[in-house]
Amino acid sequence: MKSCKGIMKPVFGVVADDLTGGMETAAMLIAAGIDCAFVTDPELVATIGDIPAIVVAQKTRVIPADEAVARSGKAARALLARGARQIFFKYCATFDSTDRGNIGPVADMLMQLTGADHTAFCPASPSLRRTVYNGHLFLGTELISDSPKRNDPLTPMTDPDLVRVLQRQTPTRVGLLAHPSVSAGPAHLEQAIASATGQGVRYFITDAIYDRDLDVLAELTSDWKLMTGNATIVQHYPAIWKAQGLVAPTSNRARLPAVDGSGVVLAGSCAERTLEQLAEFERHRPVLRMNLLAADDVGSAVGVALDWVRPRLKDGPIAISTSESPEVVKMVQERYGREGAAQLAETILGRLAVSLRGAGVRRFVVAGGETSGSIVDHLGIRSLRVGPYGGPGIGTATTDDADPIALCLKSGKLGPVDLFMTTLKSMLNPEDAN
């Protein structure tokens, strides 16, 4: 699939609203034998060689909606300028957003930019027990509004009805592709969509309970100009592309180089899973839990942390965390404001990452999407070489330079309890991890 200039037109262009999800998406494609580039700067898209998939991941999930629209639009325009056959807007399986956005406003812009008549929203990840039924989002057996996500410090999810959630974010009419239609197959879904679009519906929340539902939805949407959702449905596209002759069949699974040097965990997520992972890591290695209520300013907080780190780093990996329980998070937000509290934590960890790299740290595990974005920004990283998907929360990458660093950018909600230590070890010998 070549352009008039002889450069491959990507089959798939991803606009991701955070770096952890973007890395996961790239890793899934690579594991399926699809070469995929990963950049954080849209300006780099024009410099990428022949490749069937490109992910542009930026920290846009919780910034003001107009800024998210502008930054996501820049990414999408860069991908379309390369001739991307389809744009995929990637967001979290828990549909992290507020009444201001940012999913709805960004989707509105992408609809206009791509010229799509309609699109669907598929956050479900059945293998992780994130399912949608009758338009309601479940985490396991709980509605999302009854789960720990109701206490998210930035995007508390208190309404499980995604049709209502999205409709509050957009003037575009939102409907539902209910499970009976999904289970009936693509032909039935096309009829349902034609009927609903005739009544003015342009956005469709998709029910999905089983992985086979994602097969159906991928078949339905594989030729759409615009599709949106969580990374899980992306795993169902490569087989379709190969069957259609859009990409060459391959079993290639790109390997990452080994990276030595010291290892550090930087945790900013307040998700229950991250707190559990920190507790497990602390059974073996030291953890510094930073008290943001006691932080006079960023510089002094970073200095205190570095004084703690220096005598310990030579003995093995350590962790530094601003993660807190919902009760402590509430107190920090009361002092600094919701956005101010988040920015303080992200800036401290970002500046720490720069100092740690200067001190010889070359292996980083970062917990939290916003934290990951801040750290990558502070480190000045604009592109990464992503390894094959190893399961939820286990995507890893390296910088592509003479003195590479290895990173695992993980969602705060995902990954096995022992992820921190095992991932740092795997970076020393990626072959053993695959």
Q: Across all residues in the chain, what is the average pLDDT?
A: 90
> Residue 63's closest CA among 105, 34, 27?
105
Cis peptide before 102 (omega within 30 of 0): yes
Q: Is residue 17 situated within a structural domain?
A: yes
Q: Which residues in 230-310 belong to E strands, given as ranges?
A: 262-267, 287-289
Q: What's the pLDDT at 105?
A: 98
- Full residue range of the structural domain in which residue 323 is found: 262-433
Q: What is the pLDDT of residue 432?
A: 56
- Which is more confidently placed, 217 or 322? 217
210 strand-pairing partners: none
Among residues 210, 244, 278, which one ends one of the domains?
A: 244
Residue 4 forms part of a structural domain: no
What is residue 411's predicted lDDT score, i.e. its pLDDT?
84
Q: Do 288 and 216 fall within a single domain?
A: no
Our count of domains for the chain comes to 2
> How long, in residues, is the chain?
434
The CA radius of gyration of the chain, in Å to the nearest whole number, is 21
Residue 392 confidence (pLDDT) above 50: yes
Mean pLDDT of 388-410: 87
pLDDT of residue 42: 97
Listed residue (208, 227, 215, 189) closest to 125, CA to CA: 208
β-pairing, 383-386 vs 36-39, is: antiparallel
| pLDDT for the residue 395 | 78
Q: Report the pLDDT value the prediction gives residue 2, as an integer from 0 to 100.
A: 46
The DSSP H or E segment spanning 121 is strand 119-122
Tell whether 87 is covered by a domain: yes
Same domain, 268 and 169: no
Among residues 191, 210, 244, the one where a domain terminates is 244
- CB under 8 Å to 240, separation ≥6 — which residues? 218, 219, 222
Q: Last residue of some domain: 188, 209, 244?
A: 244
* 112: DSSP letter: H
For residues 358 and 409, state if they share a domain: yes
Task: Tell me what the mean pLDDT of segment 137-150 comes to.
Answer: 94
Residues 135 and 240 placed together within one structural domain of the fold: yes
Is residue 208 domain-shared with residue 283, that is, in the same domain?
A: no
Would 51 be classed as within a structural domain? yes
CA angle 14, 20, 21 (to 5 degrees): 40
pLDDT band at 104 (very low <50, low <70, confident <90, very high): very high
Residues 378-398 have a mean pLDDT of 88
Q: What is the CATH number of the domain that holds 237?
A: 3.40.50.10840
Give the span between the Cα atoms of 166 and 15, in whole angstroms.
18
β-strand partners of 406: 363, 398
Measured between its terminal Cα atoms, the distance across the chain in Å is 31
pLDDT in tens, 208-228: 999 999 999 999 999 999 999
The residues near 326 (Cβ < 8 Å, ≥ 6 apart) are: 151, 153, 270
> Residue 19 pLDDT > 60, yes or no?
yes
Q: How do residues 285-320 score in pLDDT, each as one tens digit?
A: 999 988 877 776 888 888 889 999 999 998 999 999
Say if residue 306 is in the same domain as residue 407. yes
User: Is the pLDDT at 85 greater than 60, yes or no?
Assistant: yes
What pLDDT does residue 4 have? 38
* Shared-domain flag, residues 136 and 72: yes
pLDDT tens digits along 33-82: 999 999 999 999 999 989 999 999 999 998 999 999 999 999 999 999 99
253 within domain boundaries: no
Residue 365 has pLDDT above 80, yes or no: yes
Number of neighbouring beta carbons within 10 Å of residue 337? 12
- pLDDT score of 417: 93
The mean pLDDT of 249-276, rounded to a whole number, is 82
Distances from the Cα of 30 to the Cα of 33, 64, 185, 217, 369, angstroms: 5, 32, 28, 21, 21
Whether residue 71 lies inside any domain: the answer is: yes
Spatial CA neighbour of 368 closest among 8, 19, 17, 109: 19
Same-domain check for residues 395 and 314: yes
Is the same domain home to 232 and 278? Answer: no
Please provide residue 42's backbone torsions phi and psi, each rounded to the nearest 5 degrees.
Answer: -55, -25
How would residue 430 be classed by pLDDT, with cut points 50, 70 and 90? low
pLDDT of residue 331: 80
Q: What pLDDT score does 252 carry?
A: 54
Tell me: do 127 and 236 sit in the same domain: yes
Note whether residue 63 is domain-resident: yes
Residues 171 and 65 reside in one and the same domain:
yes
DSSP 38: E
CATH classification at residue 297: 3.40.980.20
pLDDT band at residue 332 under the 50/70/90 scheme: confident
Nearest to 56 by CA among 34, 71, 35: 71
- How high is the pLDDT of residue 431? 62
Residue 343 lies in a domain: yes
Beta-sheet strands, E only, within 258-382: 262-267, 287-289, 318-321, 361-367
pLDDT of residue 131: 98
| Same-domain check for residues 271 and 228 | no
Instruction: Mean pLDDT check: name the lowest of 14-28, 116-130, 142-156.
Output: 142-156
The share of the chain scoring above pLDDT 90, in percent, equals 70
Q: Please report, rounded to a whole number, the percentage of residues in the chain having pLDDT higher than 70.
A: 95
